[in-house]
Every structure is written in C-alpha cells, then in structure tokens.
C-alpha cells in the first residue's frame, strides 16, 4: 500500500467489539483477567495498552522498522536509545543537535560513564577522525536544529556498517513522509512526535523505531520498566494527527519553499538556511535523500537587536518554542531552544544571536509573507 493508505489504516482497524471506525481511548490503568494467568493481551497500562499498540504499529510501518515504541516525549525516547550504551562506551553526535540532547548527554549521561563527541557529521572525514576503539554509536540529526546542516545518511551508514556501530537518526524535522533513514542503512530512528507526526501542537510525544529485533527487545524492556510509555489520550491524538501527515507535509513543502525564496530576496535578511535552496551547502545531498525539503528554515538578521525587533512585531507567526504544527511558529534559538548550550559553543556551531528559526505552517502563504514583510520593515 502507499504511504497515505498506511498512515490512515495500519494500526487503525475498526474496533472489533462495536465497529467504531475510530478506536476508543482506553482510559484505564488495569485490565481484568479472565482467570489466573489468562487475559486479553493487556494487564497493566504502564506495560501496554491498545492505543499505544495501535500507534506503535503505524509508526513502525511508516518508518519501515521491525518495531516502534512510543514515549511521553521525544527526549524520553532518545534517552532510552542512549541507554543501549554501557559505561565506557563512546558515541559521536551531530555537532548542532537539539539543545535538550546536548543537555541530556553532557550533563547527565556522562555521569553514567558514557562519552560523547559533537562532530560535524556532514563531513565524513571529521567523523572518521573522531572514532575511538570504544565508539559504539553515531547519532545524526539531519537537518540539524536550527542550523539546517544536512548529513549524507548513506555515507554515514556505510561507515557504521564497516565499524560495527549503531546508527541513530533523529528524523523529527522531516517525518517519514520526506525521509526514511532505515531504508538508507540506519538502525534506529527517533522522533519528537510532538512535531510533524502529531502536527497539531496539542501533545508531547516521542518514538523510537528499530530495525533490529535485539534493539527492539531492549527498548521495550526499558519502556515498560522505566514507565515512560505514552498515555492513551496522547496516543489517540498522535494517531489522529498521522492520518493527515502526507497532505500536511505536501503543503509544508510548498509553504517552506515560498517563504525561503521570499526571505532570500529580502534586503534585511543576511542569509537564509533552507536545504531546498541551491545556496544551501548540502542542497544536492538533501535532494538525493529527501522526498521534499520540509518547512523548517533559519535566517540571520545580523544582530540580537534586529532579531528582537522582528520577533516583537510579527502578528500571525507566533513567538514560541516547538515546531511542526499546522500554525507557523517563530523563535530565537540562542535564547530559547538552544539556551542550554554555552555561548561559545553556540557561536562555534553557527547559532548566531541574529539567527531566527521559522517553522512554516500550512496557512495561506501570502498571509505569512505579508506578516514577515511587515515585521522585517521594523528592523
Ligand atoms: C529535533 C528534535 N529532537 C528532539 C526533540 C525533543 O522532543 P520533545 O520536546 O518531544 O521531548 C526536539 C524538541 O524540540 C527536537 O526539535
């Protein structure tokens, strides 16, 4: 079946007991057992419940994994994946990963004896140089948040295969509709489903999708033992959101490109970073491995003052953290999403004080352009 058909039907069969086309929300903590040792497949909702199982089937299918596990946040999913490492193990991460991943690894997981290097994964030689005998994992975010650096997934997958490393890809910015890392050789995909998969900015959720049974068993063990599995209502919301993923992403692609072109031609904008523009350094790789360029972009207005002026004058675009919803969000990475990264590191990885990030929604793009045009005039 095609992607949209799978997104609408896999895991979403009508409820067998009533025929309800949409599965009910199983808002219960426990399941009555028919007799000692005999139940209908569920016993306690931390371990599993029908809404979670349904969503996990959908997400595994869309990413092409053998299994998926959904969590209370993207960070909870990512944390579980890092727990596949043992004390003394080393992991290489994309240099400009999401700020929360930087915080989790450098401030907490290091205390468990794991080691992390932050490398420009768009440069294969730098990744090769960073390898140690103890390296066990490569964790790639592509495109990176908010610097939009694109990593060649097939090239990193070849290296991971060669060196026997686990390759993890954060596919949040594109969704499986636009990029399928497992098909390119990655072993694990993680998502903040808070973003495009849910798409409506009304819940926090995450997923880990596995291509190997042995990883799946470990992640499921962690999910049910540590108890960060996603609750029924939130599973229901993400399942509903996923049904329109393909049509939303088609519109996001169009609006993202229109906005990038508008900004690139604007005299108050110094630089636009959008993988769909020929000016983007990894445009050719993005074209090769993505089915579209998505709707995340960053642009530099030169200084903190200019960024503040712009952000204080937008009306339709909302000044807020997060991304991937139907509504356009605008943010200032240096003081918001990436504030947990020290200023000198931010500078090194290209998160300038004048950098503004845009998550272009699916509104009428003429209205979005008019809003930004008006706000840019205030700089
Ligand atoms: C690329 C990326 N990965 C992971 C996360 C973390 O996800 P969550 O906020 O759902 O925990 C985010 C959050 O913004 C993100 O942008």
For the chain, which ranges sit under pLDDT 50?
none
Q: Is the CB of 73 under 6 A from ligand 1?
A: yes
Q: Residue 67: which residues within 8 A CB-CB, separation 6 or more?
A: 56, 60, 209, 210, 213, 216, 219, 220
What's the pLDDT score for residue 343? 86
136 in catalytic set: no
Q: Reply yes or no on whether 46 is catalytic.
A: yes
Which of 97, 100, 333 best tests ligand 1's pocket when mutated (most atoms within 8 Å of CB)? 100
In tens, the pLDDT along 311-333 reads 999 999 999 999 999 999 999 99
> With 0-12 CB in 10 A as exposed, 13-18 as middle and 19+ as buried, what is 204?
middle
CA distance linking residue 332 with residue 305, whole number of Å: 12
CA angle in degrees (0–180, nearest 5) for 113-114-117: 135
Strand ranges across the sheet with 355-359: 271-273, 296-300, 355-359, 329-331, 318-319
Whether 223 is in the pocket of ligand 1, judged by its Cβ within 6 Å, is no
Q: Report pLDDT for 345.
A: 82
Cβ of 232 closer than 6 Å to ligand 1, yes or no, is: no
| Catalytic position from the list 6, 120, 152, 170 | 170
Domains, in order of start, for the chain:
3-242 (3.40.640.10), 245-376 (3.90.1150.10)
Q: Measured in angstroms, how far is the CA atom of residue 73 from the centroid of ligand 1?
A: 8
Q: Looking at residue 307, what is its pLDDT?
A: 97
**Span from the CA of 39 to the centroid of ligand 1 (angstroms):** 36
Q: What is the pLDDT of residue 227?
A: 97
Q: How far apart are CA 350 and CA 301, in angstroms?
A: 13
Check residue 349 and give its pLDDT: 82
326 CB neighbour count, 10 Å cutoff: 15
pLDDT of amino acid 341: 78
* Ligand 1 pocket, residue 194 CB under 6 Å: yes
């Amino acid at each position: 079946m095609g992607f949209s058909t799978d997104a609408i039907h896999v895991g979403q069969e009508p409820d067998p007991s009533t025929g309800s086309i949409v599965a009910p929300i199983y808002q219960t903590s426990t399941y009555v057992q028919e007799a000692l040792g005999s139940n209908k497949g569920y016993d306690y909702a931390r371990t599993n419940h029908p809404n979670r199982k349904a969503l996990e089937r959908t997400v595994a299918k869309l990413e092409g994994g053998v299994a998926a596990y959904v969590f209370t946040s993207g960070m909870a999913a990512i944390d579980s994946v890092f727990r596949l490492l043992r004390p003394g193990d080393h992991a290489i991460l994309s240099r400009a990963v999401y700020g929360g991943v930087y915080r989790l690894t450098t401030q907490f997981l290091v205390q468990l004896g794991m080691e992390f290097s932050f490398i420009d994964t768009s440069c294969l030689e730098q990744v090769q140089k960073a390898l140690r005998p103890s390296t066990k994992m490569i964790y790639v975010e592509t495109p990176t948040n908010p610097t939009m650096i694109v990593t060649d997934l097939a090239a990193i997958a070849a290296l991971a295969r060669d060196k026997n490393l686990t390759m993890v890809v954060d596919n949040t910015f594109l969704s499986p509709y636009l990029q399928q890392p497992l098909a390119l050789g990655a072993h694990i995909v993680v998502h903040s489903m808070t973003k495009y998969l849910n798409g409506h900015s009304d819940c926090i959720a995450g997923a880990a999708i596995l291509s190997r049974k042995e990883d799946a068993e470990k992640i499921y063990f962690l999910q049910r033992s540590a108890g960060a599995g996603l609750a029924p209502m939130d599973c229901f919301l993400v399942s509903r959101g996923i049904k329109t993923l393909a049509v939303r992403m088609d519109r996001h692609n169009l609006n993202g490109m229109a906005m990038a072109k508008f900004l690139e031609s604007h005299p108050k904008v110094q630089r636009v970073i959008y993988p769909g523009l020929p000016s983007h350094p990894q445009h050719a790789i993005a074209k090769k491995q993505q089915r579209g360029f998505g709707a995340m972009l960053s642009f530099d207005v030169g200084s903190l003052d200019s960024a503040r002026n712009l952000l204080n004058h937008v009306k339709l675009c909302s000044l807020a953290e997060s991304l991937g919803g139907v509504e356009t969000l605008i943010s200032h990475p240096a003081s918001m999403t990436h504030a947990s990264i020290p200023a000198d590191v931010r500078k090194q990885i290209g998160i300038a004080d004048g950098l503004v990030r845009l998550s272009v929604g699916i509104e009428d793009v003429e209205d979005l352009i008019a809003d930004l045009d008006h706000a840019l005039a205030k700089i």
